[in-house]
Amino acid sequence: MIRYLAKRLAYYAALLVVAVFLAYALSSTALGPRTYFEAKQPRPSAASVDRQLTALNINDHTPVVERFGTWSSDLVLHGDLGRTIHNTSVNAEFGRRILVSLRLLLIGSLLGMLLGVAGGAWSAIRQYRISDRVLTLVSFVLLSTPVFLLALLLKNGAIAAKDAVGHEVIPFTGYETPGLSGGIGAHLGDWALHLLLPTLSLALGGLAMYSRYQRGTMLDVLGSDYLRTAEAKGLTRNRALLKHGLRTAIIPMSTMFAYSFLGIFTGATFTETIFGWHGMGEWFIQAINEQDVNSVIAVNLFAAVVVLASGFLADLLNAALDPRVRS
Amino acid sequence: MTTTVETDLLTVSDLSVDFNGVPAVRGVDLRLRRGETLGIVGESGSGKSVTSLAILGLLPTTATVSGSVRLDGRELVGLPNRELAAIRGRKVAMVFQDPLSAFTPVYRIGDQIVEALRIHQDLDRPAARKRAAELLDLVGIPSPERALAGFPHEFSGGMRQRAMIAMAIANDPGILLADEPTTALDVTIQAQVLDVLRTAQRETGAALVLVSHDLGVIAGMADRVAVMYAGRVVETAGVDELFARPRHPYTLGLIGAVPRLDTGGGPLVPIPGGPPALATLPPGCPFAARCPLAEDRCRTEEPRLTGADGHLAACVRAEELAEHGPAPSEVYPVPTVPPAAVARPRDERESVLRVTGLAKTFPVLKGSVFKRKVGEVYAVDGVELDIRRGETLGLVGESGSGKSTTLFELLRLAEPEAGRIELLGQDTAHLDRSAVHRLRSDIQIVFQDPMASLDPRMPISDIVAEPLLAQGAARELIGRRVPELLRQVGLDAAHATRYPHQFSGGQRQRISIARALAVQPQLLVLDEPVSALDVSVQAGVLNLLQQLKAELGLAYLFVSHDLSVIRHLSDRVSVMYLGRTVESGAVNEVFERPRHPYTRALLSAVPLPDPAAERSRKRILLAGDPPSPTERPTGCPFRARCPVHTALPSDLRTRCEQEPPALAEAAPGRDHHAACHYPDA
Amino acid sequence: MTAVPPTVPPTAALIADGLPAPVPEEAAPAGRLRLVLGRMLASRGVLAGGAIVLLLFLLAFGGPLLTPWNYATPDYLAIRQSPSGQHWFGTNGLGQDVFAQTVRGLQKSLVIGLLVAFFSTVAASLVGACAGYFGGWTDRALTFLVDLMLVFPSFLIITIISPKLRGTGWIAFVALLAAFNWMITARVVRSMTRSLKEREFVRAAQFMGVRPLRIILRHILPNVASFLITDATIAVGAAVMSETALSYFGFGVRAPDVSLGTLLAAGTDQAPVFPWLFYFAAGLLVLFVLAINLIGDGLRDALDPTSEGTRPARKSRTPRSGK
Ligand code: SF4
Ligand code: SF4
């Protein structure tokens, strides 16, 4: 088992290395930091542009492989992600933003998953009743609403509420009220309130997706032989469903978990931008627009690590849930 | 049924089940006395399993149940779920067909049995665990303590079914319902499990309802039998009475359709047609369309189940049958099999297939990306086959014996890992691509599951034409050949544009055969061709095979786990165990004077559809499961389970342990070989 | 036999697991088509979804003919007017007719959605079938490629590349979307192919001497067709969502082209005050994707015989090996 997980880990590491290299090559060739510098007023001399680019290790006259070599050895040896196009430290920016993003990603995905699994299982058990139909309809509508639109709608709702009441009811920009005084309790409350809308816009999509999927696996389980055995033993239908049905039906969700992270990451990029959170996603969009190669790569690295880590977590979860995988 | 005897434990009367308006069970009456075994026999779709599930209210919610099920005088139909739950497992327990899917895959076997105990009994965990271990011990699971901690997928099929039985008897129920409990198992394992069921019954004194399609199993186990057809009981009687003097033509036909181990040869009695669709049942006797005795009055009203002395039948002509007691072949038309086209003695006929020392190993891989070999499975490890023109070789073996691997190795037409394959005198090791392609037309295969082997998205004319196309035959030849082939296998050529799902199982298997015959092969490989079919249909396909062989002078390699079928169809037989040929020879020779202990055990494990013979037989029960083929045993591979070996004095045993037995002639010049050091012990 | 560790990386197993059983179809076109149609018509979701999609298509392609206004031409007399008899959906800050713009944007979004779904499905079925059928190194290489492309959210990669495509128009954008949209489908096709390959009718064809490519075309692809149809349907909705998201952030469709995404981007800031600039486009977007999803769901139920209530009864089989 340990060996199996170690194997997976090694595979993910290999994927990571290749993927990061490709991302590096792609970003370095697709973005044009040279134009960024050349557009400065007054226009700097070609030599000075070259010098600045080289100092940042983003000079397109240096071969990509060589730049990658410099970048990766800095990363591996010093944990240094390089400099932004404004010649500030990428690491510093990374450190400022990572917690903001992780807070959103973790809470949003976990909440979506928990609610979705519960809702889907409930929906399956009550198949074709009103509650099932309502939940199905709601999840369909949610599934058909792109995250950025959902976020915009929530934000517009909050704005409307503010206009109606006259002051901000639910905050819709940033992740804390600047300059808030008060104790730790007040701060936590403020955080929670700021988290509400962005998290919702991520979690609702997750909820819809997980609940559809969980409903499907649960329905498969409903007709299974072992559920019948459990009933034949003398368990009532509901206990058999909870103890034997649900337990087996959540196994496939672990793989779903990994997969959904791809979508959630993208979703988080949108919500951050829309709600003015200074997280990785917002940074990414900003960096693209500024041709800030090293920052773009840093965010890519972050995304890859998050996605692969969630893949590994899913493997762990899967092994924990399913004894057939373990042996 | 009107008279309910006081001692009846379970009385089912007029039980009917509908699924969304389509009937599945139509008015079933059954009685079960304390401690007795009632066999319910019927083909697929007869409603036998639905009946057993309906008794405990375990049907899905789409089912509507009416009628009455009384347990000890208490009505179960319509009982609230909670009260039913208190009865399930406590008073009536169930054993299901497929023990792999019947255990929850994520819980340990021990926990599942403990759960069953604690639902109904006030036991604490350790006490329940102790009891669970005792139960596992009772059903013959070695080292029960360890087994408790195992997950279902870690058990073999036989062990799982034992555990299932242990769970069923955990609360000392008065009734055990066993729904096809051995259908998914090999014969030797089936014999073990049936034995465990008997033990369980003896220990608990429970009455047993045994649902099965296998007349042999029923004959060996039941006290009384109910035969079901089209959702109803058509005949019920004591087991001896029923098999000796059936009063319903369907029962009679079933008995005639089963090939028997103890008598070979002769065409079987096929029941024409197939079971009716219950959604559109015409009035009158549901069997009328297939019944050779049908008269006009049969078609007006459905006959009631009546009769004297506890022998009831639902047939207007039951009296006549009771009086005359005809043999199946006197009632049903039996096809005549023409004499074989090739009648020269065996030695003079040329060889079609010759296999010597065939071996095939599979690497056991670990890891997902960088696969690494950690061992080898010796799937085939010394197989010898010899088939002459116009001859059928039966290949017998249980699962894991390497039968399928052997077939695939043959059909690859490539150089084997070890040994030699000669097809029509050509060594497959020295063939170039075009020779292989040409040779493909000489060897064709018919698979077990006719549904799976026909592409569901092609009309059958295309399916039958496919091998011709692959051999590059001309269009107009194909156009001529396809209808001809369909007629040859007994299908209507006008149906050529239909799709496989529009045919019944037996017809589909005929399509497979037509496809295989398209390129006029010399050798037909038949991989369990009838085991997915009901007996009454199976008989027709077997007769067809015999007929084709006689007409076309084909040679068959007939693979089956069913020894009765092998005996019926084969000229010679070859028995495999753990990838090796352990015995081979002329079929009568091997079946009447088996020399290898494994063959003997195998033969004794096959249930006979004859209650008297079943009772008087001496059974050789093999211990345990076949060992894993990943370990290559020294000496004789059968040693661990060999009853002869166990009984040997220790000085003789060493030979079995050290020296692998080679196939040796029984007597010089006789066509009978066995790989055992002590074939006469 | 030894238990096989799940070699499918998690993301793949997802959909593969989600399918009740790979390739469950047991029926053939002629009778099937009727069956499928019957089931689809019996499903209200499919009917409603179908009707909506049809109407939206009519609107998208017939709409421009209904209105005298052109999507780009400003009406200087009507700036930011609310919906009226003249400008059905109102006008924007430049005085452009919002109805004409929305219809135009819808048109583009629909076309992009359809094209992306088509191309990605074709790519997925080819890659998946080849990886699954040939196995060995072909499989390993293709699987690695798929895994690699799934390491990054495709949004990131598309965003990085898209500035390079400035000036190439929306067709390049379609190609880009399709290029990053096929991987998961390919995985499912691969795993379905692998199990089809073990099926006896494929084996039978192999033993008859039918060549591999012919087997893929005649036996494999027709048997994954119903999955592909369902998947392609849902992919249309997904592609429209990706398109609008990317366009919203300025990485997709660009002026002078208009799509629902660009309209939403333009209308966002004014949404609280001038709702018609935002909500018409938003509503049509959700409506369209919803309708597509309803059809996809209905199709899945109709095409999949193992879906609720139609599961065939368990048949008794011959012995199976224990482990
Ligand atoms: S009632 Fe008539 S048709 Fe039915 S079994 Fe008896 S003889 Fe045959
Ligand atoms: S060689 Fe020995 S162990 Fe093997 S079958 Fe014969 S007696 Fe039994």
B390 lines ligand 1 (CB under 6 A): no
Exposed / middle / buried, residue C298 (Cβ in 10 Å: 0-12, 13-18, 19+): buried
Q: Tell me: do B562 and B431 sit in the same domain.
A: yes
pLDDT at C15 over 70: no
Find the CB nearest C164 among A30, A156, A307: A30
Q: Is position B367 within any domain?
A: yes
Q: Do B293 and B178 share a structural domain?
A: no
Query: How many residues make up chain B in this entry?
Result: 681
Give the type of residue at A233.
K
The overall average pLDDT reported for chain B is 87
Q: Is the CB of residue B294 below 6 angstroms from any atom belonging to ligand 1? A: yes
Q: Of ligand 1's atoms, which has the minimum distance to the CA of residue B303?
A: 1
Q: Does B101 sit within 8 Å of A225, measured CB to CB?
A: yes
Is there an atom of ligand 2 within 6 Å of B158 CB? Answer: no
> Of B591, B623, B646, which one is at a domain's C-terminal end?
B591
CA of B296 to the centre of ligand 1 (A): 10
CA atoms within 13 A on the CB side of B153: 14
Angle, helix A251-275 to helix A147-165, in steps of 10 degrees: 50
Question: What are φ and ψ of residue B350, in 5° steps?
Answer: -75, 160
- Burial of residue B385 (CB within 10 Å: 0-12, 13-18, 19+) is buried
Q: Tell me which of A42 and B482 has the higher pLDDT.
A: B482
Which burial class, exposed, middle or buried, applies to B615 when counting CB atoms under 10 A from its CB (0-12, 13-18, 19+)? exposed
Same domain, B130 and B276: no
More confident residue, B378 or B172: B172
Of all residues in chain C, the one with the smallest CA distance to A214 is: C18
Place of tokens 């959909």: C15
Ligand closest to Cα of B320 equals 1
Per-residue confidence band for B365, with pLDDT thresholds at 50, 70 and 90: low
Query: Residue C9: pLDDT above 50?
Result: no
pLDDT (mean) for B398-426: 88
Dump pLDDT digits (tens) for B191-247.
Answer: 889 999 999 998 889 999 999 999 999 999 999 999 999 999 999 999 999 999 999
Q: How confident is the model at residue C310 (pLDDT cuts 50, 70, 90)?
A: very low
| Residues B283 and B173 placed together within one structural domain of the fold | no
Q: Where are the alpha helices (DSSP H) in B460-503?
A: 460-470, 475-488
pLDDT of residue C298 exceeding 70: yes
What ipTM did this prediction achieve?
0.83
Report whether residue B676 contacts ligand 1, using a CB cutoff of 6 Å: no
Work out the mean pLDDT of chain C and round it to a whole number.
77
Q: Residue A98 pLDDT > 50, yes or no?
A: yes
* Token pair for B508: 């589909």
Per-residue pLDDT, B486: 92
Chain C residues with CB under 8 Å of B455 CB are 201, 205, 218-219, 222-223
List the structure tokens of A85. Answer: 């196009």
Which two tokens mark A173?
A: 């920009």
Is pLDDT larger for residue A186 or for residue C32? Answer: A186
CATH number at residue B196: 3.40.50.300
Per-residue pLDDT at B636 exceeds 60? yes
Q: Are residues B114 and B208 in the same domain?
A: yes
CA angle, corner B407, sides to B402 and B408, nearest 5?
100
Q: Residue B333 CB: number of other CB atoms within 10 A?
A: 10
Cross-chain Cβ contact A252/C20 below 8 Å:
no
Nearest CB neighbour to B180, from listed C5, C219, C316: C316
Nearest Cα residue to atom 6 of ligand 2: B676
* Contact state of B151 with A7 under an 8 Å Cβ cutoff: no
- Cβ distance C322 to B155 less than 8 Å, yes or no, reads yes
What pLDDT is attached to residue B582?
93
- Placement of tokens 């004409």 in the chain: C100
Measured in angstroms, how far is the CA atom of residue B192 from the centroid of ligand 2?
A: 21
Local structure of C293: helix, strand or coil: helix
Reply yes or no on whether the pLDDT at A103 is more than 50. yes
For residue B254, the CA-to-ligand 1 centroid distance in Å is 14
Chain C nearest-CA distance from B577, in A, is 14
Q: Is any Cβ of chain B less than 8 angstroms from the Cβ of C152?
A: no
Q: Is the pLDDT of residue C153 over 70?
A: yes
**If you search the block for the tokens 């023990």, which residue do you land on?**
B99
- Is pLDDT of C24 > 50? no
B227 CB within 6 A, ligand 1: no
Residues B215, B359, single domain; the answer is: no
The total of structural domains in chain B comes to 3
Average pLDDT over residues B441-454: 86
Q: pLDDT category, C128, cuts 50, 70, 90?
A: very high
Beta-strand pair B8-19/B580-586? unpaired
Residue B540 lies in a domain: yes
- Which residue among C2, C30, C320 places its CB closest to the CB of B184? C320
Range among A34-48, B203-217, B446-460 rated most confident: B203-217
Q: Report if residue B633 sits inside a domain.
A: no
Query: pLDDT higher for B329 or C40?
Result: B329
Strand partners, B585: B573, B672
Residues B202 and B227 in one domain: yes
Sequence length of chain C is 323
Cβ under 8 Å to B: C residues 207-226: 207-210, 218-219, 222-223
Give the nearest chain B residue to A221 (CA atoms). B104
Tell me the CA–centroid distance for residue B317 and ligand 1, in Å: 6
- Beta carbons of B277 and B45 less than 8 angstroms apart: no
Provide the domain limits for residue B326.
245-262+269-331
B320 within some domain: yes
Cα-trace Rg, chain A: 24
Each residue's pLDDT tens digit, B19-34: 888 899 999 999 999 8
CA distance C208 to chain B (A): 5
pLDDT of residue B368: 45
Q: What pLDDT score does C35 carry?
A: 65
Which of C 98-117 lie inside 8 A of A, CB atoms? none
Given CB atoms, is A248 within the 8 Å cutoff of chain B? yes
Contacts of B93 (CB under 8 A, 6+ apart): A232, A233, B167, B168, B169, B170, B171, B173, B175, B176, B177
Task: Classify residue C57 by its DSSP letter.
Answer: H
Same domain, B72 and B185: yes
Instruction: Tell me, using a 6 A CB cutoff, whether residue B385 lines ligand 1.
Output: no
**Gap between the Cα atoms of B524 and B556, Å rounded:** 5
Range from B199-213, B614-628, C112-126 carrying the lowest mean pLDDT: B614-628
Nearest-by-Cβ selection for B106 from A233, A236, A247: A247
Q: Among positive and negative, which fits the CA dihedral B548, B554, B560, B563?
A: positive
Residues in contact with C78: Cβ distance below 8 Å, sequence separation at least 6, in sequence order? C86, C87, C91, C95
Q: What tens digit of pLDDT does each residue of A136-163 get?
A: 889 989 989 998 999 999 988 888 888 8
Chain A residues closer than 8 Å to B93 by CB: 232-233
* Ligand lying closest to the C-alpha of residue B248: 1
Q: At what angle are helices C200-208 and C183-198 packed, to 10 degrees?
A: 70
* Residue from B62, B457, B464, B602 to probe the interface with C (highest C Cβ count within 10 Å): B457
The residue among B104, B183, B364 with the most chain A CBs within 10 A of its CB, best to mutate, is B104
Residue B556 lies in a domain: yes
State whether the beta carbon of B317 lies less than 6 angstroms from ligand 1. Answer: yes
pLDDT of residue B209: 95
Assess A320–B contact: CB distance below 8 Å, yes or no.
no
Lowest mean pLDDT among A253-262, B358-367, B403-412, C53-62: B358-367
Q: Indicate the DSSP class of residue C152.
A: S
Answer yes or no: is pLDDT of C26 > 50.
Answer: no
- In a mutational test of the pocket of ligand 1, which residue from B227, B233, B250, B293 has the highest number of ligand atoms less than 8 Å from its CB? B293
Contact yes or no for B358/B418 (Cβ under 8 A)? yes
Residue B659 lies in a domain: no
- Domain for residue B451, yes or no? no
Instruction: Sort out which chain A residues have CB atoms less than 8 A from B368's CB and list them.
Output: 4, 7-8, 11
Q: How far is CA A327 from CA A3, B106, B151, C5, in A?
A: 11, 12, 10, 8
- One domain for residues B410 and B527: yes
Residues of A in contact with B85 (CB under 8 A): 231, 234-236
Same-domain status, B362 and B302: no
For a ligand 1 pocket test, name from B250, B285, B312, B320 the mutation site with the most ligand atoms within 8 angstroms of its C-beta: B285
**Mean of the pLDDT values across residues C188-217?**
88
β-bridge pairing B443-446 and B523-527: parallel
Domains of chain C (ranges; CATH) run 34-303 (1.10.3720.10)
CB-CB under 8 Å, B101 with A244: no
Strand B63-71, strand B74-75: pairing: antiparallel
Q: pLDDT at residue A244 above 50? A: yes
| C-beta atoms of A234 and B88 within 8 A | yes
- DSSP secondary structure letter of residue C84: -
The domain boundary, picked from B591, B619, B646, lies at B591
What is the rounded CA–CA span in Å between residue B108 and residue C218?
A: 44
Claim to verify: residue B36 and residue B171 sit in the same structural domain: yes
Query: Residue A295: what pLDDT?
Result: 92
Mean pLDDT of the A220-226 span? 85
Cβ separation A225–B96 shorter than 8 A: yes
In a domain, B658, yes or no: no
Contacts of A271 in chain C (CB under 8 A): none
> CB–CB of B447/B513 below 8 Å?
no
Give the least confident one: A146-160, B179-193, B265-279, B306-320.
B265-279
Question: B317 with B353, same domain?
Answer: no
Residues found in chain A: 327
pLDDT (0 to 100) of residue C275: 79
Write out pLDDT tens, residues B518-537.
Answer: 999 999 999 988 888 888 88
What is the rounded distance in angstroms from the CA atom of residue B545 to the CA atom of residue C293?
51
Q: How far apart, in whole angstroms, are the C-alpha atoms of residue B441 and residue B133?
A: 57
Question: Which-ligand-closest: CA of B635?
Answer: 2
